[in-house]
Structure 1
């Protein structure tokens, strides 16, 4: 089916995101009933801030989670990420507890459900209702992922049995999307997806379990479900029987990229707090300047990767799966490292409801509960590692460079079609972008410290990609022992960093003639220098003014009250003079 192009969606999304940001108000104002002080107080009571949920209701935020073709406002995933950032900037738990997990539940229905199922779930979300998701049991899972449901057919429908102890919004969900074992045999066709509507269930078949306390995202309502010979209607199956694993792999691409991209706004909050703390005692010292400038460069590089992958979901739905897994694999780790660096500037104080250290501590607790821990890493490795031997033989060094539209943040995108997302094949567009950028830089005539630095670093990253290629060619596709080895995991680590490099180079090249800071090579050089350290590459010293140029932009944005991401948007937080 041909894609529908959204021509005016970007300005509309920008206006909506700005309106939401300013309706939330200055989060640092202690008198703001929607500010950090109120959010931390609610977290201390293990609740989401009611006034914040009321605001999202007033804004009709649920419609942001519904595809435009079903009457909602979701055009492309990048636009939704921008709408999520004002919420993530303030409270990860609010973003999850209010409703982003409803989209994750609804995604399989939007991708493969019947017209009735899609209309039902779209109407629920658009009206402010919640949908809950019951995952299948996964290896290396946390408590959120353990437990399994099973189903058997009978003449009038299906009987559902099993228990899942930790489900977000279980108590207030108007629909439950469950990954259910429908075949006892192991394999890729063992699970199916069911749309369970509580108001269509006979009494006694479905029981909501008591709320569970959690260390992270304490305000979210985690409870569970127990099904005991629960009779389901015949029309609960979403898509085909046995398609659950494939549907999860297809739709998790959207989940991974949205969470990771939106989380950059949470790190923005901590970086802003660190700058504020450092300036409280006077000007930034040399060490502090290096820390905050480095984290700022990281955020721009992380946003380059997130924005590129989110655009790929619309532009390259058959090839986005690899980059989506790399994004979720790498960027949370980068952000955690950045938060640890910022803690040295903020001071590693204890949890306080009234301080910036309190927001940092809360975020560090919330990250694992948001799926940015071991279970998420293992799931991403399971996507990336099996593809590396195939890419080494067919793609790296041969694949055509992706279109510049992949990096053009302002150009129109087709509507996101969740059903068109694939789980294998399609090449490696970010590695191709790295290859092409390195070739252009090698052939450029520019002379100067930044030209020299970019040429040197791009050539080193390209050489590392070819070393990864040579190592991956030694692995036979399908060699299970080799694919689960520590060596394969190390290759996946390197590939993820190289993908991030390709995204950063592509983003800079697409903006190098623009009248914005993204055209300045200083942020790119600093970000690539930090990426190189992760790979153990040895680079010459940074150009003498590199850190100062990045820090100057950081301070200018801080004082003007503007965001530290690619979009450089106005924030409700008051700037300083």
Structure 2
């Protein structure tokens, strides 16, 4: 396994201390208090920065510590389990990666040095009040003028719009004769380098969750910047924007894993201490199975996330499909948990008490944003739907590969190169392509004490069902297209005409993708992880679900329910992440590192 990413997460846990300790900067109680006041968690942000979080967004070749995509996943997970306001506020560091995607050598050296000095607060200024996710409709102008650009317009809603030091934005540089896809260019603007004109913050927006974040906007009025602020060529902005979003959508999974961990940990802890009907509430069969189902969702979400992080290294050009699949499905796995856990918690879900139940409510509100930003779920599904014909065409034409590096968590990876991300992956997806090889590997397994012949037979049957499902879904793509072509055009003023049948196929594929990822992780790691993982009872339960994120009361076999519940309870007692791998949390009662400490990142 990638021990370096686990060690990094554990060092960060120690640095931040136990979130149950109120005096720590990223404590649960402190986060709730700041949330009630809609206040930016400045002390928590400072503690994260002191660790050197910013360094993990700068490649090693430029002097930073970005070695593995999984490092960012794990660091984000550590912050998000404490306070999403801090995680979302500081994860804007990822937008400086657009310099590594589209900048020239001089720009990359300049911005790397700036980030590594610390104090950079970037924001992503794509959205405009009248256009939302329709970036091609933007009207913000960046008029070329004698080696400079004059920026005029408003971007909203933006995370860190008012408090940013650097702004990544799209501006129209073309004219009426320029093709629509080449109208906009991308700029990385240091607000301290504005030559003339005005840049002002747009007031904050009250939000359902992330109440401590600076969700606001930014307005430019004749603001002049040097031409060196432009990333890439004129007219390349929309393509660069989409390439960057493919990276950030993948990293969003760390936010979901962090909030999902705390929601389950809070509810499980509360119910284990609560006595009802002469016994612990978590021993009521309905409660036990609900917690077990939620735990299983987190295991599947982690498998999908880990495989995606490895894919960023190995199959970088394929992420036009993969990023959307991972973001949609991991968010769904955690969002469905939030509904089940709220129902299981009962009346306490509605009470804003200063205890872990209040933390659950906050995580539920804050975590819901993952399915909304960096491309909402409908936007991601639409992007998937548009690429389904290419995916169907490429299906079955993948040459034989050794999939070990993708799934074996111990296998070494090449450097992560963000500039290799492509806006169109030509229908390729390594996870789907690996399924025949995974089925062959599964067929070669021999029964063991933990995974007997019956379970192996069951897993082989489920894997074959997945193969048939994938074939059927991709065949359905052509059917939907023919049906849509044969239908009379419906009157509509919208240019967005993606058939809903393709959206449904995209949803089904997202679920199937996560199942295949879980199967691959199990097959290539069962010889070195613990008996619970190796036995595969959890995997059998996951593959048995129609939609992998969705579960109902009575779905789990009682033995599987008890095994999952017992494993969850043991990880909670051992103070480790809910995970397929042992990853230690901060010691109970531990204080955060003080100013006299030096982090591993220094």
Fold equivalence (TM over 0.5): yes
- Report matched runs for 1:167-178 at 5 Å: 167-178=158-169
CA displacement at 1:340 relative to structure 2: 0.8
The answer to whether residue 533 in structure 2 is matched with residue 525 in structure 1 is no
State the alpha-carbon separation in 1 of the partners of residues 18 and 550 from structure 2: 39
Contact in 1 for aligned 2:149/2:226 (Cα 8 Å): yes
Show the counterpart of 2:339.
340
Q: Which moved more, 1:360-369 or 1:501-510?
A: 360-369
RMSD (Å) for aligned C-alpha atoms:
3.1
Show the counterpart of 1:327.
326
Q: Which has the higher contact order (CA 8 A, sep 6+)?
A: 2
Per the alignment, do residues 551 and 394 of structure 1 end up closer, same or farther by CA in structure 2, a change over 3 Å counting?
same
Show the counterpart of 1:249.
242
CA displacement at 1:467 relative to structure 2: 1.0
CA displacement at 1:137 relative to structure 2: 4.8
Q: Which moved more, 1:119-128 or 1:393-402?
A: 393-402
Show the counterpart of 1:132.
123
Aligned-partner SS, 2:461: helix
Show the counterpart of 2:597.
none
Contact in 2 for aligned 1:526/1:547 (Cα 8 Å): no
Contact in 2 for aligned 1:156/1:233 (Cα 8 Å): yes
CA displacement at 1:128 relative to structure 2: 3.1
Contact in 1 for aligned 2:2/2:409 (Cα 8 Å): no
State the alpha-carbon separation in 1 of the partners of residues 515 and 197 from structure 2: 54
Per the alignment, do residues 189 and 154 of structure 1 end up closer, same or farther by CA in structure 2, a change over 3 Å counting?
same
Gaps of 5+ in 2: 488-496, 590-602
Show the counterpart of 2:600.
none
Per the alignment, do residues 260 and 79 of structure 1 end up closer, same or farther by CA in structure 2, a change over 3 Å counting?
same
Show the counterpart of 1:567.
581
Per the alignment, do residues 16 and 381 of structure 1 end up closer, same or farther by CA in structure 2, a change over 3 Å counting?
same
CA displacement at 1:249 relative to structure 2: 1.9
The answer to whether residue 508 in structure 2 is matched with residue 508 in structure 1 is no
Contact in 1 for aligned 2:25/2:43 (Cα 8 Å): yes
Show the counterpart of 1:296.
295
Q: Which moved more, 1:341-350 or 1:330-339?
A: 341-350
CA displacement at 1:521 relative to structure 2: 0.3
State the alpha-carbon separation in 1 of the partners of residues 127 and 556 from structure 2: 48
CA displacement at 1:373 relative to structure 2: 6.5
- Report matched runs for 1:33-48 at 5 Å: 34-48=26-40
Deviations 1:96-118 (A, max 9, x none): 11x21121x21221112123322
Show the counterpart of 1:405.
405
Show the counterpart of 1:209.
202
Aligned-partner SS, 1:235: helix
CA displacement at 1:321 relative to structure 2: 2.8
The answer to whether residue 120 in structure 2 is matched with residue 106 in structure 1 is no
Contact in 2 for aligned 1:159/1:229 (Cα 8 Å): yes
Contact in 2 for aligned 1:166/1:223 (Cα 8 Å): yes
Deviations 1:227-267 (A, max 9, x none): 22222212221011111121122121220111113321210
Show the counterpart of 1:313.
312
Show the counterpart of 2:463.
458
State the alpha-carbon separation in 2 of the partners of residues 29 and 449 from structure 1: 47
State the alpha-carbon separation in 1 of the partners of residues 201 and 20 from structure 2: 38
Aligned-partner SS, 1:192: strand
The answer to whether residue 177 in structure 2 is matched with residue 163 in structure 1 is no
Using structure 1 for the length normalisation, give the TM-score: 0.89
Aligned-partner SS, 1:347: helix
CA displacement at 1:420 relative to structure 2: 0.8
Contact in 2 for aligned 1:253/1:321 (Cα 8 Å): yes
Contact in 2 for aligned 1:401/1:429 (Cα 8 Å): no
CA displacement at 1:124 relative to structure 2: 3.0
Show the counterpart of 1:360.
360
State the alpha-carbon separation in 2 of the partners of residues 373 and 328 from structure 1: 10
Show the counterpart of 1:24.
16
Aligned-partner SS, 1:425: coil
Contact in 2 for aligned 1:149/1:160 (Cα 8 Å): yes
Contact in 1 for aligned 2:58/2:97 (Cα 8 Å): no
